[in-house]
Structure 1
Amino acid sequence: MSVFTNTSKDRRLALRVGAFMVMALVLAGLVVMLIGQETHLFEKQVLYRTYFAGVDGLSEHSPVWLNGLEVGRVDGVGFPTAPGEKRMEVRLKLGAEYASRIRADSVAQLSSMGVLGDKAVNITLGSLDQPPLAENGVIPSEGGGDVAAMLRGASKVLEDAVVVSATLRKAAEAYADPAMAQDVAAGVRSLRHLIEEVEKGDGLLHALIYDKDTGREVRTLVANASRTAMRMDRAVARVDSLLGEVEHGQGTAHALIYGQDGVNALKELGSAAGQLAGLLEDAKTNPDGAVHQLVYGSAGNMLSDLGSAAADIKQITAMVARGEGSLGGILKDPTVYEDLRQVVGNVKRNRLMRALVRFAIDNNDNVQYVGRPLSPQDAAARQAIGGSGPEPTLVPLPVPSGKNP
């Protein structure tokens, strides 16, 4: 039998069923529209990716915000597909109408949705001078605010506060000890006595603080110390300048230290030291040398000879002082001087005497042997090195042609 009968009862039942179906369809449409509006199901969407070190609290269908305004949903959370990436990959679906606001400098952050730990992804607006990010592009990410992390930090702060309070309590208990109180009181009394002694005593601190003369002396001492320091600075500057001149100048010190002359001088000094060492060794080991006799031999004979020579010199000088002898007569007797002067003058005026003097000067070696026979030893000595030469020949004396003037 057909549902649509001609009877009124069947007609009413059919109307009720139809109305119910229509209402169900309308309600279903409204629900679908609401869900689609909430999930942007009927909008064109654009896919982006981003990466976070941790995704706790984030799941599929978590909201995506653009500066706080919901513009999409999280499409998936999983392990990274990009090679070398260690962070977790999050896929975002945004409405196409908001894609133009996602720029190259936009940044994705994890934001907390409440104390329960649910998370959302918040994207910052990009700059207008930056190009829009292409579809399926990667949005740079950074750490954002995390209530759980904040709670963990607050818990750590509370733990530290508990530790600090326990430490303060222990310190307070230590100060509450009667022995500690007595020690503190004794320290305060000692400090008070010290201050009274400084104020009323005669010590150095009292003089420094209350005595004006001592203060002036201290200021003078400080000024002198300052001047001394300045002089020392100048001296150090001079020494530094001198060292710089030695290092970079052209003087003897630079040549000795940095040049080849210093090496040569050291070599010559070493050679001289070696020669001196040889002389000293020879003087030490050669018993016949004069230096050996002076240092290692008996000096009695030498001292006696020196004493005798000194006595003879003293006697001679005494005779000269008394006018004895030729030298004494020359020095003391004026007549001797006049006679010598006259003789010298006569020699100058007499041509024969001048010739004899000139002959004696020119033939000194021969004149000293005139009238003395030569021995074989003298002849050999004259022929040897340092001798006076061969046997002299007799030379006739010149005879002046004129008379004495």
Structure 2
Amino acid sequence: MKKKMDKDLKVGIFVTLGLVLVLGALLTLGGANNVFTRQNNYTTHFKSTQGLIAGAKVVLSGVPVGTIKDVDYDAKDKNVKVTFSVARKYAQYMKQGTIVEILTQGVLGDKFISIDATQAEGEEIADGSEVPTRASDDLAQIIPKADQLMTSLNSIAVNLDKILKNFDKGGRSDTFFQGMTTTAKNMAQVSDKLNRQLDGMQLPRISKELSSIMEKVNNGTGTVGALINDPSLYNDFRALVGGANRNRIMRNLVRKTVKDGETAEEPKK
């Protein structure tokens, strides 16, 4: 009887140790080892959790620092309230300016919360406080936009194919390209003729002669240069014009005086 009890006791101890080891392995693989660490709890709100579930991990710069505790719909704010925990040793980085966002991990699309503390400064966010969120354009959001883009590109390709087919009907494409070839040849001929005419005009020689003439004028050489550069001619011209103006004014004044005198003598007759 005693031997049987000893055997049952050994079996019980063995089974218990096996269960403890299995439970420990499950807790470690599932990230539930955080249960045995001191943690701070925080809340945040999203318009959509995009499939985020309780038990998902929380990471800070790629390092797992906590888990999602609860995901529930908030009827008051008409959004989703998420409660998550962060290990106490990482809570010191949860300062004012910290934001969280939902990201996707791997091809399977597992969702998790990422903490962005790059702009965090000031006081530490208190345990149980609300943490602001940032809308994220992750893979799940980009794929529908990519589908829309591909649909638009496909539509453009179809329309372009129709245009090219219509353009090619009746040999219009051949006519068009022949016309373009003829136009290019004509442009080349015109350019060649223009170059020959410019060469015949001897533009460098003409430009050089004009420069020589302008230099002589500036130096006062020749009649034109003397007229332009001699200030006495300018003064004589001013005096002449001024004298003419004065003579004209005096003549007008004399005529007006004579006219006024004749007008005054008429009543006496």
Q: Verify same fold: TM over 0.5.
A: yes
Match of 1:136 among 122, 128, 137: 128
Q: Write out aligned runs for 1:346-357 (5 A).
A: none
Q: Distance in 1 between matches of 2:98 and 2:130?
A: 10
- Residue 36 of structure 2 aligns to a residue whose secondary structure is coil
The answer on whether the counterparts of 2:97 and 2:120 sit within 8 Å (CA) in structure 1 is no
User: Which residue number corresponds to residue 149 of structure 1?
Assistant: 141
- 5 Å-filtered alignment, 1:154-169, equals 154-169=146-161
Structure 2 residue identity aligned to 1:52: F
DSSP-derived class of the 1:122 partner: strand
Render the CA deviation track for 1:283-328: whole Å, top value 9, x for unaligned: xxxxxxxxxxxxxxxxxxxxxxxxxxxxxxxxxxxxxxxxxxxxxx
Evaluate the alpha carbon distance shift between residue 165 and residue 153 of structure 1 in structure 2; reply closer, same or farther with a 3 A threshold: same
Gaps of 5+ in 2: 211-269
Q: Secondary structure at the match of 1:24?
A: helix
Greater strand proportion: 2
Post-superposition shift, 1:72?
Answer: 1.6
* Residue of structure 1 equivalent to 2:80: 88
One-letter amino acid of the structure 2 residue matched with residue 26 of structure 1: L
CA contact (8 A) 2:67 2:84 kept: yes
Tell me the alpha carbon deviations over residues 260-282 of structure 1, each in whole angstroms, 9 at most, x when there is no partner: xxxxxxxxxxxxxxxxxxxxxxx
Report the Cα offset of residue 14 of structure 1: 3.2
- C-alpha distance in 1 between matches for 2:61 and 2:37: 20
Tell me the amino acid that sits aligned with residue 21 of structure 2. L
Deviations 1:137-183 (A, max 9, x none): 11111123522223223323332332333244334434544222123
1:60-92: CA deviations, max 9, x gaps? 1111112211122111112237x6x44422111
Paired residue for 1:64?
Answer: 58
Size of the alignment, in residue pairs? 203
TM-score (norm. length: structure 2)? 0.63
Distance in 2, matches of 1:56 and 1:190, equals: 61
Root-mean-square deviation (CA), in Å? 3.2
Preserved contact between residue 51 and residue 90 of structure 1 (Cα < 8 Å): yes
Alpha-carbon distance in 2 for matches of 1:210, 1:87: 81
Q: Helix, strand or coil: the match of 2:68?
A: strand
The corresponding residue for 2:13 is 22
CA distance in 2 between partners of 1:125 and 1:197 (Å):
69
Q: Quick check: 2:43–2:130 contact (8 Å CA) kept in 1?
A: yes
2:20 alignment partner AA? G
Query: What is the rounded CA distance, in whole Å, between the counterparts of 1:113 and 1:194 in structure 2?
Result: 62
Structure 1, unmatched stretches of 5+, are 221-405
Whether the aligned pair in 2 keeps the contact of 1:199 and 1:206 (CA below 8 Å) is: yes
Letter in 2 for 1:29: V
Structure 1 pair 159–208 and aligned structure 2 pair: CA distance change class (3 A): farther
Q: What's the % identity of the aligned pairs?
A: 17
Q: Quote the Cα distance in structure 2 between the aligned partners of 1:176 and 1:192.
A: 23
Q: Is the 8 A contact 2:48 2:80 kept in 1?
A: yes
1:188 and 2:169 are equivalent in the alignment = no
